[in-house]
Structure 1
Amino acid sequence: MDTDYEQITYRVDGRVAVLALNRPEARNGFTVQMSHELADAFERADADPEVRVVVLTAEGPTFCVDADLAAGGGKGQGFTRTDDPELAAAAAEGRYQEPAGRVTSVMHRMDKPVIAAVRGAAVGVGSSLLLPADFRIAAEDGKFGFPFTQRGIVPEGASSWYLPRLVGLGTALDWMISGRIVPAAEARAAGLLTALHPAEEVLPAALELARTLAARTAPVSVALTRQLLYRMAWADSPEAVHRLDSRLIHDLTRGPDAVEGVRSFFERRDPDFPGRVPADLPDYLPWTAEQA
């Protein structure tokens, strides 16, 4: 278990990195410090060539009950209002990143798939953190919600971009304008959640899925497919997508991962793909300059 962090835990189990919010005494209330630690841990896992999949979870029975408003005044904690002129200037100039967005922007840029394993309530930032995950596995008695209008603020973490793409605009309007609590069954039916399990089975199910992905999928292919979906699924036309996937298909079918994929299929065994992320990603991806 890694000890570099104070408000989260980080461990690597085989080819799976497990990140857990670790303030169970505060029901994992979100803080500025936690946002910095989560962003660092996601970047760390993404840069580790031995890690294939990341699981995001939390210690204790509750995932996250939103920002820890009671933590204001503690070092690196809370979201109390300040009159810092430098911060105000940074916000006005577009240089400020609010804490949830600091994490979700890292998750969006990742080349590794993320599985969220959620027990109990995930409200406010607790729900926002789930949206850039590729799979969201939750407890049958879980609760979700985006209560920003009830706090006099707006959705954070780019959740107003992610949520409509998962559940549709009409449902996103309902949930975000009302700020109401959404039970797990409704969230699953709307498309927010991938699967529901009894609370004690949520993390084991997430880890089983992570190990399956790590064993059967090619890291380079997963990274490219994830980013094609996130960055090009809403392109103005399919032409730009077709140009890029044509080049990728040309190059990848001539590479060692495709050879191993075909060979393992005919030999009826799990593949051992040689490609590694990020080292073996193509250097001509159109979003590479955007991340520089």
Structure 2
Amino acid sequence: MDIPHADLAVDQALAERLVARHFPALAAPVELVAEGWDNALFRLGRRHAIRLPRREVAARLIEHEQRCLPLLQRLTPVPLPVPVAVGRPDGEYPFAWSIIPWVAGESGAHVAPGVRDGYARRLAEFMAALHVSAGTGYPLNPVRGVPLGTRTGAVLARLAGLADRVPADELAALTAIWDAGVAAPLWRDPATWLHGDPHPGNVVVGRSGELATVVDFGDVTAGDPATDLAAAWLHFTPAGRAEFRARHDELRETDASTWVRARAWAVSIASAAFAASDGSGPMATMGRQGLDQVLIG
């Protein structure tokens, strides 16, 4: 099982009815494109897409990104899925939902790390633009952007649970990388905006291998930018990682301890993706690829 069971059945017919009822001016042919971890994605005509939560927890996350995306789009030149229409719960469907611009491409989770290297520079530019001070009153996330030490119990328990799927020497190395991140100096500057969930499944790769967009902003928060910089290991091979780091450092000077923490965050995020499935499907593949890259260095 690579994605959790849905709390609510979401299908093409439901998507069609919701659009017709709430936004008839946008009505167009509807086609299921993907059923993700939290949401189902439908194409709506030629220009739009519909994002419908399939799990109750995702309904809160989609409300969060509906609030945050207009602000974040002003920070970065990369086009983001800012809603063109915001759906509210009704008698048939109890969750918030969004109509967003359609972006052609493929999930980064379905693309090999060597191909992802092609957008390393652009993703670095996106993150450098995003990682500015969030000021005050920003949303909090208890598991992202926080000091690594607060996550040690959860991460080490997760690694221990992978003992039947990951060799003992690799688990020992991953634990050492995590410990190094915990021991590194903490982030002391103002909290910066964070995407919060920087794995390859949350980017769309265009036909030429370019970064078409970044998606799934339900975990947007502020804190230590090392959380997002884990992307260096989650997405790329050593060549792409070097390009990503060089371009990010060119735009936003980053000290060595931040990269040490970022590699530890990659342990956390990749192991979560790998552990959250039965070992099959794109989520598991993506998690295993991330762990492999963390071990390479």
**TM-score category (smaller protein):** under 0.3
Q: TM-score, normalised by structure 1?
A: 0.25
Q: Which has the larger radius of gyration?
A: 1
More RCO (CA 8 Å, sep 6+): 2
Q: TM-score, normalised by structure 2?
A: 0.24
